[in-house]
Structure 1
Amino acid sequence: MTSDNEQMSQGRRLLDEGQRLLAQGDRVGAAQVLARARDERDTMLAAHALIESHGLVGSFANIMGLDCTISAQDDIFGFFAGHPSSRNPLRDYLADGWRTLSELMLLLEAVDRPLLKTSRVLEFASGHGRFTRHLVKALGAQRVVVSDVVPGAVEFSRGTFGVAGFQSASIPEEVRWPGQYELVFVLSLFSHLPCSTWGRWLKALYGGAVAPGGLLVFSTHGAKAAAFDCVALDDEGFFFAPSSESHAIDGQEYGTTFTTEAFVRQRIEEACGAQSLVHSAPVHFWNHQDAYVLRKAAS
């Protein structure tokens, strides 16, 4: 008969040993063992959590100077962890957020609105903080507000990063905006919306969340992404498939979307006025998603 210990995976044995060493006060030994457990797929996130929460040698927080806690419910981390090209999902996930910060800063410099001089930022569709942690390092938690529709996501970011936050809604017109913001950043939401809500979300965000004189920045899957995935767009320049990396949102509400620049510009004109578009940058985020910057007229 096989014992429970024999059935236990290598990662589980290492994780248990690391916890035992922590209980004994042996931080050096625990760091070494937990680093090995972090290399095993089945115990990667649990070992990472112990290393980060105890501030052990080898923690990402010691390297990056920010909170590197990752939620077990984070679908984006799950995407990295399950992707065959990712040899180090923890590093790739955290580096991806840092790259996004640099790309947002470059985009805002192009319209002469530096991020570091921005008084209040709403990160909409913020998930479990892949980008939020980096935004907090740049601005401080007091200048950052987050919102997401996924249950528990906002609570995680509020508790982990100290930001303010509010629950979003599945229906754009039902969101209750607690305020307006100098910058509203919407990364990779419009690359997932069906046609029935695409323009409505644009109108709701621009009209309800952006302060007079403020900016709305959002990204889309454009021509390069469509060509890469061999997607044929319809006559309007639109394609939607009801599936994505998210397991928390219904695919009909949040799938995978591709749009032409002409489609995006038409929806901007309808929802916000053509004059609101002040800058666009093809394949700006991750060398894959197009970026658009809208400015709301000052009152």
Structure 2
Amino acid sequence: MTAITDSLPVTPGQQLLEEGRGLLARGDRTAAAQVLARARDERDVALAAHALIEEHGLVGSFANVMGLDCTISEEDDIFGFFLRHPSSRNPLRDYLADGWRTLSELMLLLEAVDKPLLNTPRVLEFASGHGRFTRHLAKALGPQRVVVSDVVPGAVEFSRRTFGVEGFLSAGVPEDVRWPGQYDLVFVLSLFSHLPRATWARWLQALYGAVAPGGLLVFSTHGLKAARFDNVTLDDEGFFFAASSESNAIDAQEYGTTFTAPEFVLARIAETAGADRLVHQAPVHFWNHQDAYVLRKVAP
């Protein structure tokens, strides 16, 4: 009589992963690298195989190619987005390359306002997540010049531990954030593309307040191209919010998906910082999908 078991069948990826672990235990790094590279192509174990390759510095590691720490947190919702997305043939490569692309696009944006990133003494990356971009910023500037902040405690701790940057916990509403100081550049990628109307301008005001005199606030939004792409109709003010996003860690009513016309954004800038504080506006600048805005705080 055959025994009945509740265990699920072992997948090909799980078999490869266990084989790779066994080879590592026996000290056969060459064979382990080959087996784990195959396991890395299986989506159910891709991140686990990647972690072993990176941890042991095996042939085929992304760190060997990119020259930076390529550790990815298991809690990273953005990596999960790439992993599940049907257009991503290689989620690990796409995720890591996306952070590099963001760095290049930020550098181009800052060159346009004659404020080169590499000359910036202190940078705050706000809503930093689990370091998709942080790892590249820390390599470019050195971790001592980078501070991160996120509302998810584990995300901040992961970046501090993994990339050596400073970090502090954000909050669900802007008035509750305890800012450690002011920064020469406050970079806010894809936060305003998720905020409800009730906190949109309040976050803009709070983040502008975190900019040191003479410094810059850079933020991005889902603009008109993104709205057309997703068949979204904006209201009379040029605003749309849906309580849904790729994040599993934040309440969807607090962090959903937002689209804004330039007129809406410019009106909020005028109300909070002053219209003359806008020094550059770049439609579809980040990822050929999100609009970029650059505000400069007047030095005393």
Q: Partners in 1 of 2:8 and 2:298 — Cα distance?
A: 67
Q: Partners in 1 of 2:230 and 2:8 — Cα distance?
A: 44
Q: Partners in 2 of 1:229 and 1:150 — Cα distance?
A: 28
Deviations 1:68-126 (A, max 9, x none): 00000000000000000001000000000000000000000000000000000000000
Answering whether residue 192 of structure 2 is matched by residue 190 of structure 1, we say: yes
Answering whether residue 253 of structure 2 is matched by residue 262 of structure 1, we say: no
Alpha-carbon spacing, 1:79–1:6, altered in 2? closer, same or farther (3 Å): closer
Q: Partners in 1 of 2:100 and 2:59 — Cα distance?
A: 21
AA of the residue aligned to 2:292: A
Q: Partners in 1 of 2:97 and 2:173 — Cα distance?
A: 32
Question: What TM-score results when the alignment is normalised by the length of structure 2?
Answer: 0.98
Q: What SS does structure 2 have at the residue aligned with 1:152?
A: helix
1:233-244 alignment, distance < 5 Å: 233-244=234-245
Q: Which residue of 1 aligns with 2:133?
A: 131
Q: Partners in 2 of 1:247 and 1:151 — Cα distance?
A: 14
Q: Which residue of 1 aligns with 2:143?
A: 141
Q: Which residue of 1 aligns with 2:19?
A: 17
AA of the residue aligned to 2:98: D
Offset at 1:148?
0.1
1:73-222 alignment, distance < 5 Å: 73-207=75-209, 209-222=210-223
The alignment covers a number of residue pairs equal to: 298
Q: Which residue of 2 aligns with 1:271?
A: 272
Answering whether residue 52 of structure 2 is matched by residue 50 of structure 1, we say: yes
AA of the residue aligned to 1:279: H
Q: Which residue of 2 aligns with 1:297?
A: 298
Q: Partners in 2 of 1:184 and 1:95 — Cα distance?
A: 22
AA of the residue aligned to 2:21: Q
AA of the residue aligned to 2:35: V
Unaligned runs of 5+ in 1: none
Q: What SS does structure 2 have at the residue aligned with 1:145?
A: strand
Q: Partners in 1 of 2:151 and 2:91 — Cα distance?
A: 25
Q: Partners in 1 of 2:201 and 2:173 — Cα distance?
A: 12
Q: Partners in 2 of 1:5 and 1:166 — Cα distance?
A: 42
Alpha-carbon spacing, 1:26–1:288, altered in 2? closer, same or farther (3 Å): same
Q: What SS does structure 2 have at the residue aligned with 1:160?
A: helix
Q: What SS does structure 1 have at the residue aligned with 2:19?
A: helix
Q: Partners in 2 of 1:189 and 1:226 — Cα distance?
A: 16
Q: What SS does structure 2 have at the residue aligned with 1:7?
A: coil
AA of the residue aligned to 1:9: T
Q: Partners in 1 of 2:144 and 2:56 — Cα distance?
A: 25
Offset at 1:30?
0.5
2:40 to 38, 41, 46: 38
Offset at 1:150?
1.2
Alpha-carbon spacing, 1:120–1:11, altered in 2? closer, same or farther (3 Å): same
Offset at 1:4?
9.6
Offset at 1:8?
1.1
Q: What SS does structure 2 have at the residue aligned with 1:15?
A: helix
Q: Partners in 1 of 2:9 and 2:285 — Cα distance?
A: 48
Unaligned runs of 5+ in 2: none
Q: Partners in 2 of 1:278 and 1:238 — Cα distance?
A: 23
Question: What TM-score results when the alignment is normalised by the length of structure 1?
Answer: 0.98
Q: Which residue of 1 aligns with 2:10?
A: 8
Q: Partners in 1 of 2:7 and 2:181 — Cα distance?
A: 55
Offset at 1:268?
0.3
AA of the residue aligned to 1:91: R
AA of the residue aligned to 1:119: P
Q: Which residue of 2 aligns with 1:62?
A: 64
Q: What SS does structure 1 have at the residue aligned with 2:175?
A: helix
